[in-house]
Amino acid sequence: MVLVLAVIGIYVAVILTYALAGRIDDADDREPATNGALVYLDVDAVSGETFSFQTRVAVYPGADLLTADGDLREDLTVDVSPAASADSLTFARGTRVGSQPVSLYADGDIRQWPFDAYETSDVQVQAFTGTGAARVSVPVQVVVTDSVTSWAVHARASESGPAQALDIHVARTGPTIGSAIAMCAVLIILPVCTLFVSIQTLRGRKQFLPPIVTWFAVMLFSVLPIRNLFPGSPPIGSWVDYTVVLWVVMGLATALALYVTAWWRQAP
């Protein structure tokens, strides 16, 4: 009874945590300065293997930069650095400004999954009107948002860079880490159960049942599918492989070997 209540309590806690973490904030009502631009830097993907953030840059020019029809008066160039691509975002005069993808470098170590976190420092966004010698800098207000699931994105003013530079920190959310730990717990339970059955059979306390050998094999081959369900799909070689997956496989193989030994001893 206590075990059932504990499972129900954990289930309710996980659902509530996920629901609270998934709440959507109110719509943003920021407006660009009349002589400047409002730039949204939206993080929509995190890649630990390539050490980068995938972002989408949306630009909203002020009224002084637009014609009465809402088109640009002059060419508008937006530079985001340090970016993985050297190309600037350029919007031609007489067109509407849209959004474009930009990849940012990030520091982190995916081998620490699910406790891995990534950060990019001194991110600067600059905007210019005109081209060549006639290019003029315009004020920029930068807003960092996130459309990526399972990650928490935080931005703060950089302490080492210019006043307008930002540091962006991304870490997995609590529910995601909890899900990862739960999946590891599921794997750990498998060898515990099989070792218990095989040891009891080997000691003669339980009768040898041939169909259980198939159960051991199913347990062994279920490790990889469960491993592939880990949130974020950590690459092979992460710490979880050395601390959990490897020992789960060894435990299951040992249990199978013990059960075969019990069969050998009890065979006529």
If you ran DSSP here, which 8-state letter would residue 66 be given? B
On whether the pTM is more than 0.95, the answer is no
Inside any domain, residue 160 = yes
Q: How many domains is the chain built from? A: 2
171, 193, 220 - which closes a domain:
171
Mean pLDDT for 235-240 is 81
Same domain, 191 and 214: yes
Inside any domain, residue 35 = yes
Same domain, 82 and 210: no
Q: Give the CATH number, domain containing residue 67.
A: 2.60.40
Mean pLDDT for 225-245 is 84
Inside any domain, residue 207 = yes
Q: What is the pLDDT of residues 40-87, one digit of tens each?
A: 999 988 888 888 888 888 888 888 888 888 888 888 888 888 877 666
Q: What is the pLDDT of residues 128-145, one digit of tens each?
A: 888 777 788 888 888 898
Q: How far separated are the first and last CA of the chain, in Å rounded? A: 43
171, 199, 234 - which closes a domain:
171
Task: List, in order, residues 6 or more apart from 49 with CB less than 8 Å away.
Answer: 110, 235
Quick check: helix, strand or coil at residue 220? Answer: helix
> Is residue 265 a contact partner of residue 207, using CB atoms and an 8 Å limit?
no
Same domain, 78 and 156: yes
- Measured CA to CA, the distance from residue 58 to residue 102 in angstroms comes to 10
Mean pLDDT for 224-249 is 85
- Measured CA to CA, the distance from residue 21 to residue 112 in angstroms comes to 22
Same domain, 158 and 190: no
Inside any domain, residue 253 = yes
In this prediction, residue 45 carries a pLDDT of 87
Q: How far is CA 115 from CA 85, 111, 196, 265, in A?
A: 28, 9, 32, 46
Inside any domain, residue 3 = no
Inside any domain, residue 114 = yes
Inside any domain, residue 89 = yes
DSSP E strand stretches across 62-180: 76-81, 89-91, 99-105, 117-129, 136-138, 140-146, 151-157, 166-172
Q: Which two tokens stand for residue 120?
A: 């990019």
Same domain, 231 and 144: no
Quick one: which H or E segment has residue 222?
Answer: none
Task: List, in order, residues 6 or more apart from 193 with CB less than 8 Å away.
Answer: 219
171, 186, 217 - which closes a domain:
171
In this prediction, residue 118 carries a pLDDT of 92
> Is residue 81 a contact partner of residue 62, using CB atoms and an 8 Å limit?
no
Mean pLDDT for 205-218 is 83
11 has pLDDT over 90: no
Same domain, 154 and 194: no
Same domain, 86 and 150: yes
In this prediction, residue 14 carries a pLDDT of 67
Same domain, 145 and 190: no
* Of residues 136, 142, 135, 137, the one with CA closest to residue 32: 142
In this prediction, residue 196 carries a pLDDT of 92
Neighbours of 148 (CB within 10 A): 17
In this prediction, residue 168 carries a pLDDT of 92
Which domain covers residue 72, as residue numbers? Answer: 31-171
Inside any domain, residue 75 = yes
Same domain, 167 and 181: no
Cβ-based burial of 53 (10 A; exposed 0-12, middle 13-18, buried ≥19):
buried
Task: List, in order, residues 6 or more apart from 156 with CB less than 8 Å away.
Answer: 166, 167, 169
Residue 169 pLDDT grade (very low, low, confident, very high; cuts 50, 70, 90): very high
Same domain, 38 and 79: yes
Same domain, 143 and 233: no
The per-residue pLDDT of the chain, averaged, comes to 83
Same domain, 218 and 89: no
**Helical spans, DSSP H, in 130-245:** 174-202, 211-221, 223-228, 239-240
In this prediction, residue 131 carries a pLDDT of 78
